[in-house]
Structures are given as structure tokens and as C-alpha cells.
Amino acid sequence: MLERIWTVSTLLSLSRIALVVPFAVCLLVDFPNHRLWAAAVIAAGVVTDFLDGYLARRRHEVTDLGKIVDPIADKVGIGVSIGLLAWTGDISWWFVAAVILRDLLIVIGGVYIRRRKKIVVQSNWPGKVAVSALAVLVLLSLVRVESMEWFRSLTLWFSLAMMTVSFAIYVQRLFVGRRSAS
């Protein structure tokens, strides 16, 4: 049976990728409350991230395309937002490099597993927690409140820890997949 490709969930995931443009404009163009508008765009991205997964499960529309597009939308959204926040001096470049390197390695490993085993590796719960923590970090970096800097720092380190755990799970899946495919 052929699965539907263009589901509401997949379109929501794709819309998250499109949100990087208004986010960039709101962050980089100086107009009244531009950082609050950028935070609103990020909040819209968080809502669509929740909705796409919820609707896919609820409507029984979980597709292989959706399993690929959703994490790519996360990676593009997070990568662009933290990259631009590093550009504005709100996040350190080393952190951006760590996030992008991890994501690139996961994508390369996912493509390898897809080609070797013909399966799509799904995201894991530490990865989902990491994406949520990264979204909180982006929001806290946009709306800087002096008394919350300790929480912003804690969120950065927590997201890094969750990304590390998530990456370790992906690596384990890759090596288990290689052994069973041989």
C-alpha cells in the first residue's frame, strides 16, 4: 500500500523551515521590538513542531517522508537560529559548531543506515529533549533578562548534555545496524 506523501503533518514540518526567513528578518533588522517578534516566530516554530507530530500520530499519517522532514526542519531551524544568535553575539560560536557537527554526523549516519538497511532511523527522546532545550535557549537568548542569565547558561549546558546522549544513541544504532547488516 502506498502511503500519502503530502500530509498536514509534513506540510507543518516544511513550514518550520520557511520560518527561518521571518526569524532572520526579525532578528537582524532593527525595528521596534524586533527581538520579541523573532521570539514570536520561534514560538510559532515550537507550536508547529508539537502539532506536526501530534497530528501525524492522531490521524495515523506517520510517513517515512515525515520521519525525514521533521528532524531536518528541527536541524535547519535550530542551526539558523543559533547561527544568527552567534552572529549577534548572543551565543558562542563553539556551541554553534558543536550543534552543527553533531547534526551533520547524524544526517550522514542516517543516510548510511537508510541505504544499507532500507530503514529510516527515528529521532530518540534525548534528541527531542535537546531540541526543546535548544528552543528554550534561543528564546532566552532573544529576550535577555539579567536575572535569568544563570538559567540560560544552565539550558545551554543541559541541551549540550542531551545532544551528547542523543548522539551516543545514534552511534550505537549505526554500529548495531552495521553488525546486523553484514
What CATH number corresponds to the domain at position 153? 1.20.120.1760
| CA dihedral (87, 79, 167, 104) positive or negative | negative
What pTM did the predictor assign? 0.87
- How many domains in the chain? 1
Whether 3 is in a domain gets the answer: no
Whether 1 is in a domain gets the answer: no
Whether 63 is in a domain gets the answer: yes
Whether 111 is in a domain gets the answer: yes
Q: Look up residue 30 and give its three cell numbers.
A: 532593527
> For 77-125, how does the pLDDT look when each residue is reduced to its tens digit (9 = 90+)?
999 999 999 999 999 999 999 999 999 998 888 888 778 877 777 778 9
Structural domain span for residue 48: 8-177
Query: What CA–CA distance (Å, rounded) separates 8 from 111?
Result: 25
Whether 114 is in a domain gets the answer: yes
Whether 103 is in a domain gets the answer: yes
Whether 2 is in a domain gets the answer: no
Whether 89 is in a domain gets the answer: yes
User: By C-alpha distance, which of 138, 79, 130 is closest to 104?
Assistant: 79
Which residue type occupies 122?
Answer: Q
> For 154-170, how does the pLDDT look when each residue is reduced to its tens digit (9 = 90+)?
999 999 999 999 999 98
